Amino acid sequence: GKYPSTRFMGSKAKLLTEIWGVASQFKFDTAVDLFAGSGIVGYMFKAEGKSVISNDYMALSHVFARAMLENSSEKLSANEAAALLEPHHPSDGFVENTFRGLYFSDDDNRLIDTVRANIAALKNPNKHAVALSALIRTCFKKRPRGIFTYVGHRYDDGRKDLVMTFRDQFLDAAGAISQAVFDNGRVHRAHHGDAVSADFGESGLVYIDPPYYSPLSDNEYVRRYHFVEGLARDWSGVEIQQHTLT
């Protein structure tokens, strides 16, 4: 299936043909995507039949990899996705109270809290990852420029993604991410940790796309995406730590 884009800074979605053109010259069964980001390159390796290890220090990248790389079978039906939008479980009101007037409308903030509460109650970890990925993607697409370094809506140019309701965006995202789930017959692993201290045991091809650095521009990933990173960490509860992959 087509990988659902996330507007993630530095995504290599448009360069996959060139990247695979180089990688395909080597013989390997396992690919390590060391700085996974949006996960698009790891997903490409999965589509090419490889076993993939995905790693990133950001929790939202880990959620994407859990949903569409490590997960090879679990999807959300249209009814399951729609049910997540209804108030079935008590909400803590965190987004509504903490981010009022900053990024989304009061109604959308309230809906985010509803979806958060429902996702937290999901027992299946893979469906949990799919649902949370859909929520994160919805927040990206409903935010002008897809970033959270400013408040208000001054960059709202009326494009379709911004006109669509939050509810419709979530249903669309859940469908797109579920469609992207497939099984290539291999085992894949999503890890959340520091690439510098990680110990990868397998031999194979390592794809390295480290974060950009410049003192002259606003290009720090957590600063740009702190709101959706918070949604991901709310679920994962995983601190950045050294991972030994065996």
Q: What percent of the chain has pLDDT over 90?
A: 70
Q: What is the mean pLDDT of residues 89-110?
A: 96
User: pLDDT above 70 covers what percent of the chain?
Assistant: 89
Digit-coded pLDDT (tens) for 121-156: 999 999 999 999 999 999 999 999 889 999 998 888
Stated pTM of the model: 0.89
Q: Greater confidence, 217 or 51?
A: 51
Quote the DSSP letter at residue 163.
H
Average pLDDT score over residue span 79-89:
97
pLDDT in tens, 19-57: 999 999 999 999 999 999 989 999 999 999 999 999 999
Cα–Cα dist 180/108, whole Å: 26
d(CA 86, CA 159): 27
Query: What's the pLDDT at 207?
Result: 94
Q: How confident is the model at residue 237 (pLDDT cuts 50, 70, 90)?
A: very low
pLDDT of residue 10: 57
Q: Identify each DSSP E strand in the chain by its residue range.
A: 30-33, 51-56, 189-192, 199-200, 205-207, 244-245
What is the model's pLDDT at position 219? Answer: 66
The answer to which of 27-31, 190-194, 235-239 has the lowest mean pLDDT is: 235-239
Helices 166-180 and 106-120, packing angle to 10 deg:
40
Residue 87 tokens, joined: 């108030």
Is the pLDDT at 198 greater than 50, yes or no?
yes
Burial class (CB in 10 A: 0-12, 13-18, 19+), 54: buried
> How far apart, in whole angstroms, are the C-alpha atoms of residue 136 and residue 16?
23
Specify the pLDDT at position 223: 85
pLDDT confidence of 111, banded at 50, 70, 90? very high
Q: Is the pLDDT of residue 162 over 50?
A: yes
